[in-house]
Structure 1
């Protein structure tokens, strides 16, 4: 099998830390780092980066999807490390990129990346949103998407955020940064595991949509290479992400946009994983990034929607085996709804998935 896209979902506790590679010849693969998980993820990420081949440690793009402690915590030490010097471009929407905030300036005259993340000065000058001419990473208005050319790399399409979501972040920027700097949030209470004997009713449960301004500003991407497709949902709103995917499908003359893998948004939260979103981009593989130790993700409602709406034979990939996720590997459940469940062979590496090239 010739691999088109390789994705590692590192064990970043309740957060996201992903490493994506796309082979290219000659030379090392095109490489993208997406988020750094909470602060405790950095030693693991550093160890993983240390295994990159000497002379081939370039990271073409490092994405900080949004201001939230479980996504930026590990990125702070990364930015201070030698590995940041090997990054071709950082994609992140800082204060200077937000519409109608009264502080919109060119990046060279505005904040440095470290200052934008921490709310305080410091750190070296780093390439920032160069692929967007120093402007924001966004899709325009609802139903939009933005294609980003790469040199000898994959085809990348920005699916989220919209300008409206960035405007909302602008109004709440200071408080959002304060929350991110505080770090650990309060736990949601005891994790009570309900039986999975009525998956259909679970999937039909009415749920409130994600209200988080930070999550709504998430950078979500479609990565395509050698015929394979991967959706990186970050913590994006299901409505925005679904509308973006539908727009891409429509632009290509399709009713839906089938993909090989879909990293479910917001750690498979029921407020983000919506039926319309799953129908917009049916996948062969669904990736879940969380150990559930704070907010008890993944939600059963979200996974019920996935297993009922996924193509027959689809696979769930978890980067942690927990009491909550292990229930979804029940043999009778898998047989009834015709899916498979997978867990890391090595808990220290998380989930690793290689997508084959297609003609």
Structure 2
């Protein structure tokens, strides 16, 4: 590919069972752009800090950071790399951050920093930051980050495994950032039986939100409140989103919910099983066929169901970024997209109608 020619690079960073996807592209003018989709676990974020520091400072500007959902293997690295970083990376800028927090579970917009006042220090610059210069190096340039081996630093004993708590830690930083700016600080969702208007990024990248729906976010309200209450009572969290009414919370050390308290919530919180205890043996095509025929249980994790699903379009190519979304939800989003593109009316869930092709060179990526 000749210098300055349009190109799109997709790099899947080592993130253990999580996701961390680095996108870089150039437009027709040759100017480089980049975005990050999730940052894996907390140890992944620490490795990314070193990777960002290895870049020239004028190449640390990102058009977008997407945190697909609150699971620790997607949001954890954002905490250690960005929001909770003890020493922020100089010049590291995200022009917009897409993440659905507490206000978005209710279909509301996040408070504007000009109205609510700064809740955390921003990362030095905002949307007006200078674009990356044409001399920006591709991803392969510069020292490679060391792979995350088994000796990676474990989470401390006070670490919270609960996604809502990590969501609140991120929210505290986001309050003073460009948060869901493309959506007026409102939720990143797909309307029921429709698709959201696409968002155009500099350099010719177009993003269409295929999920979640508002119902998937609303289903998290009970577990989000419960987990935040518990963390505040234990002292492992000292801040909560505006509008999260915790005025009746007991003093630290007390149990925020009685043993007989009823919590209305569609999903149960807790840890998510990550694959079989014994990895399958895949040595022959027959092994693969046997694995494909193995019955699996449907995912019921509320956090996964709330994943931001994106269709990326660039110069006639399409890339599907699914996070950990439910397969049926991804299909419903694709069917809604096809209906919007063809003018066809949706019938039922659309699952029996099939899904549109991903397009020339289309790919799917995600957990």
* CA-CA distance at 1:223 after TM superposition: 0.8
Give per-residue Cα distances to partners, 1:156-175, cap 9 Å, x unaligned: 10111101101112232135
The counterpart of 2:168, out of the listed 95, 119, 128, is 119
> 198, 205, 223: which is aligned to 1:147?
198
Call closer, same or farther: CA 1:187–1:164 in 2, change over 3 Å: closer
- TM-score, normalised via structure 1 length: 0.63
1:245 aligns with 2:334: yes
Offset, 1:96: 1.1
For 1:89-168, list aligned pairs within 5 A.
89-99=96-106, 106-108=111-113, 109=116, 117=166, 119=168, 123=173, 125-168=176-219
- Alpha-carbon shift at residue 45 of structure 1 (Å): 1.5
Tell whether the 8 Å contact from 1:142 to 1:162 is kept in structure 2 after alignment: no
TM-score normalised by the chain length of structure 2: 0.61
Between Structure 1 and Structure 2, how many residues are aligned? Answer: 270
- Say whether the 8 Å CA contact 2:198–2:207 is kept in structure 1: yes
Q: Which structure exhibits the higher relative contact order, with contacts defined as CA atoms closer than 8 Å and separated by 6 or more residues?
A: 1
Alignment of 1:169 onto 2:220: yes
- Please give the root-mean-square deviation of Cα atoms over the aligned residues, in Å: 3.9
Q: How many Å separate the matches in 2 of 1:117 and 1:43?
A: 16
**1:223–1:230: 8 Å Cα contact kept in structure 2?**
yes
Alignment of 1:264-343 (within 5 A): 281=358, 284=361
| 1:60 counterpart residue number | 63
Which residue number in structure 2 is paired with residue 235 of structure 1? 324
User: CA separation in 1, counterparts of 2:117 and 2:220?
Assistant: 18
Per the TM alignment, residue 71 of structure 1 is displaced from its structure 2 partner at its CA by 0.7
Mind listing any 5+ residue stretches in structure 1 that lack a counterpart? 256-273, 291-359
Q: Which residue of 2 aligns with 1:88?
A: 95
Please state how far the C-alpha of 1:193 moved relative to its aligned partner. Answer: 2.3
Name the structure with the higher helix share: 1
How far apart are 1:246 and its partner, in Å?
A: 2.0
Q: Structure 1: how far apart are the matches of 2:165 and 2:92? A: 18
Distance 1:34 1:282 in 2: 21
1:350: which partner in 2? Answer: none
Decide which structure has the larger Cα Rg and report it: 2
Kindly indicate whether residue 280 of structure 2 is the aligned counterpart of residue 193 of structure 1. yes
* CA 1:232–1:277: 2 relative to 1, 3 Å: farther
Bigger shift: residues 155-164 or 2-11: 2-11
Of stretches 184-193 and 203-212 in structure 1, the one that deviates more from structure 2 is 184-193
1:325-352 per-position Cα deviation (integer Å, ceiling 9, x unaligned) = xxxxxxxxxxxxxxxxxxxxxxxxxxxx
Q: Report how far residue 34 of structure 1 moved.
A: 0.9
